[in-house]
Structure 1
Amino acid sequence: METRRNSTTNVVGFTLLPSELIHYIILRLALPDIFHLKSVNKYTTSIISDQDFSRQYNIHSSSSTWLFVYKKRWHRDPVVVHGYTRSSERWFKVMVGDILKPVIPPGEDLYFLTACGNFFLFALNCSREVISVNHVTKNVKRIPHSPLGPRGTSSWRRSGIKLLVGSNGPSQFRFLFAEIVDGNPTLFEYDSWTNKWKSTMAKENNMDSSCVDNKKDESCIFLSASNGPRRSIVISVGNDTNGPVVLRPVFSGDLEDGELAVGFSWGSVINRLHIYGDGRMLIVRSGPDSLDDVNRGIRVVKGVELWGLSPNGRQWAFVSNIPNGLIEDIKKPYGVMMGCLEEREGTIRAILMSNFDGIWDIIWLSFDVEKKEWAWVPLPEFKMEGSNMAGVTFSSGLTIS
């Protein structure tokens, strides 16, 4: 009772502030806090429900970045996606279990593929389907099988998929992925507006320039179709009428670390992890700190390098490496590591998720392309002991509607 009285008093005191200040404060809240505030006071509800405020908030929120993590213990656990944005100091729970319950059969194994705006994309391992969830409008949509047919969760590569919102309005989305089909790099695209797929064989890059020349063009995206120790296949997709283009960048860097892991690293012998995304490549170099670490299969991060596509798309070009001082800050023992990478609005963001003795640790790194500066984003404590990692992704800002 005392807690409820204090909460009511705080809300009443908040509403006594000047209206301009209230508007300013609410505008900078994370969306879950806004929804909570909307339900406790009529005055704040009237502000949040105003169309001009919603429009202003959506514009302000579009430049923010969210990190979403899906963890689970058992298939029967409720589906909860945890989210964090730098405008807050805590993790939020996005409860999507009740939204999914009518369409997900008991015992189904879900994997969190990616997110954009208010949309989450899940892959269903048993039924081999993909579904979208709008956690604001609470709409669920079964996506028809692509021309490649039903696919299990292991078929999806994070660096080869992209979810885009807004081409036909915030309530619609496009889902793209790249694959090698009969030796040909191919783009597959689903449009929720038409509820149809189309597939396009990418053309070879026969010119010395492409949309790689203008990396600031947000309309140009890059999907990884294949990655090997020395050669990669990337599909470049722009707004021009020429269609998707094949880029075949070659890596000429050092390969003395032994075996290569792409996207997910495990075992004591794999000391070089490559993480791809948006035409970028992060190389995480690791190794044991002592003989005891060798015997126990424990490694620590020794260095992190960022590479990008050359202007003509034919080489992986070195961009920057993380300063040694920052390496010391993020240096922790691990046995397993995975990661994801994205670039948006001039900032490259990477997540390194590592596991040591059943305990997960999350490292958020960012690189300002123009300033050529690295930063480490400390995260609030996130308890994952005993849980399975079932998906991690960055996303653009959430919107009120």
Structure 2
Amino acid sequence: MDNHSNSTTNAISFCLLPSDLIHNILLYLALPEIMGMKLVNKSISYLISDQNFVREINSRSKSASWLFVYKKRWCRNAVLEGFSDQSTRWFKIAIADLLKPVISPFEDLYFMTASANIFLFVSNSKRQVFAVNLVSKTVKEIPASPLGPRGTSSWRRSGMKLVAERDRFRFLFAELVDDRPVLFEYSSETDTWRSMETKENTGNLPRGDEREGDCIFLNVTNRPNGSVVVAVGSQSNNAPPVIIRPRIDVGGNNNNNNDRQQVAVGFSNWGNATDRLHVYGDGHMVIIRSSGVDESSSSEARSVRKLRSIEVWGLSRNGENWEYISRVPSDLMKKISKDYGVMIGCLEKADWVIKIVLMSNHECLWQIFWLSYDMETNSWTWIPLPDCNMKGLNMAGIAFSRGLTLS
């Protein structure tokens, strides 16, 4: 009761400040905080809705990158949290109340991806995808794709992409149909899906440093020595998607021939430890190399790994190979190298920067670290993350996003 009284008193005191001072204070808040401030009273809500204020906030937020984590206890207490590279703490996103009209609180829900103000979730039992708009506070049920209803296990992060601008969005994913890659695209403007046949790559692709924003790359299959990737124009048009089949030769950059046989795509399991993990996204690949902590102990102890190196690879000009780009410097690796038993990751490239997040679990404790590689300056940055309070919770989705706005 005392906490509620203090909160009310603080809110009233804040509203009594001069409007210019309130305006300046709001400008330095993160977007989730500003959205919450609209509920304080009508005068604050009016100030936040002012178009000049909205333009200023949107201009400042363009450069911010966000990492979102959806975590839950089984069938209860689900919460979406976000962390910006311009902040120092995690922000809770009020997502549960928005989903209540369409999803039971006991539903098995998974967070797929995000772009701008749009967040996609998939229901495992209903096998449906829902698009949540954080600003308009609306939920849209996306009709089943031409492949039919799909549960959480059917969606592969590196094989899908959400492209959003304010209230409009495109959702794309690629799958093998009769052993042939097919691209599926949903448009929120028409509320319909279309499927597109792919063609083999017969010409040169723009280099990674020349095709910024021109192509969307979706991984269809990933194997130890190569991948199948579908490339499509970033603008919605009738140009057919192109199949790219890049191969990888790790021997040129690493002399350990065993690496060729030890690979997992994005994760490793207890009792089935691997020395090399791959994470794919946006025409790039991260190779995470690890080593055993104690090879002489029990099988469970041997499944504990320690990071040795992290490398970034990209598509070659003609799309026939994965080419080595850079490796995390040794001094930075010493800071982030931790023991782990399970690891997952995601990768996103935008504005010449490759963002990588790796999330590992060791003895029921989750750890997250965020790395960025600037392709223009050839420099690595580690963004320290505060504790996300994952103890006792299950990770139900992780994704990067940019372009959050107030409108």
For normalisation by structure 1, the TM-score amounts to 0.91
Aligned-pair distance for 1:42? 5.9
Question: Which residue in the other structure is 2:258 paired with?
Answer: 256
Provide the secondary structure at the position in 2 that maps to 1:79: strand
Question: Following the alignment from structure 1 to structure 2, what is the Cα–Cα distance between the partners of residues 385 and 158?
Answer: 24
- Give the 5 Å matches for 1:290-305: 290-291=294-295, 295=299, 296=301, 297-305=303-311
CA gap of 1:304–1:47, structure 2 versus 1, over 3 A, is same
Aligned pair count reads: 393
Counterpart amino acid of residue 341 in structure 2 = G
CA gap of 1:212–1:180, structure 2 versus 1, over 3 A, is farther
- Give the 5 Å matches for 1:26-45: 26-40=26-40, 44-45=44-45
Question: Following the alignment from structure 1 to structure 2, what is the Cα–Cα distance between the partners of residues 293 and 386?
Answer: 27
Please state if 1:232 is matched with 2:227: yes
Aligned-pair distance for 1:55? 2.4
Q: Is the 8 A contact 1:216 1:346 kept in 2?
A: no
Question: Which residue in the other structure is 2:319 paired with?
Answer: 313
Question: Following the alignment from structure 2 to structure 1, what is the Cα–Cα distance between the partners of residues 44 and 14?
Answer: 9
CA gap of 1:187–1:293, structure 2 versus 1, over 3 A, is farther
Moved more, 240-249 or 383-392: 240-249
CA gap of 1:9–1:100, structure 2 versus 1, over 3 A, is closer
Which residue of the other structure, out of 272, 283, 287, is the alignment partner of 1:283? 287
Which residue of the other structure, out of 256, 273, 277, is the alignment partner of 2:277? 273
Provide the secondary structure at the position in 2 that maps to 1:148: coil
Question: Which residue in the other structure is 1:11 paired with?
Answer: 14
For structure 1, the residue ranges without an aligned partner over 5 or more in a row are none
For structure 2, the residue ranges without an aligned partner over 5 or more in a row are 252-256
Counterpart amino acid of residue 326 in structure 1 = L
Please state if 1:176 is matched with 2:176: no
Question: Following the alignment from structure 2 to structure 1, what is the Cα–Cα distance between the partners of residues 8 and 104?
Answer: 43
Q: Is the 8 A contact 2:209 2:352 kept in 1?
A: no
Q: Please list the CA deviations of residues 156-175 of structure 1 after superposition, one character each: whole Å capped at 9, or x if unmatched.
A: 11001111112xxx112110
CA gap of 1:294–1:230, structure 2 versus 1, over 3 A, is farther
Question: Following the alignment from structure 1 to structure 2, what is the Cα–Cα distance between the partners of residues 154 and 173?
Answer: 23
Percent identity (aligned): 48
Question: Following the alignment from structure 2 to structure 1, what is the Cα–Cα distance between the partners of residues 342 and 208?
Answer: 36
Please state if 1:325 is matched with 2:324: no
- Give the 5 Å matches for 1:207-218: 207=203, 209-212=204-207, 215-218=210-213
Aligned-pair distance for 1:25? 4.5
Please state if 1:335 is matched with 2:341: yes
Provide the secondary structure at the position in 1 that maps to 2:250: coil
Question: Which residue in the other structure is 1:154 paired with?
Answer: 153
Q: Please list the CA deviations of residues 321-356 of structure 1 after superposition, one character each: whole Å capped at 9, or x if unmatched.
A: 011111110011111000000001111001100001
Question: Which residue in the other structure is 1:49 paired with?
Answer: 49
Provide the secondary structure at the position in 1 that maps to 2:158: helix
Question: Following the alignment from structure 1 to structure 2, what is the Cα–Cα distance between the partners of residues 8 and 73?
Answer: 32
Provide the secondary structure at the position in 1 that maps to 2:53: helix
Across the aligned residues of Structure 1 and Structure 2, the Cα RMSD in angstroms comes to: 2.2
Q: Is the 8 A contact 1:221 1:236 kept in 2?
A: yes
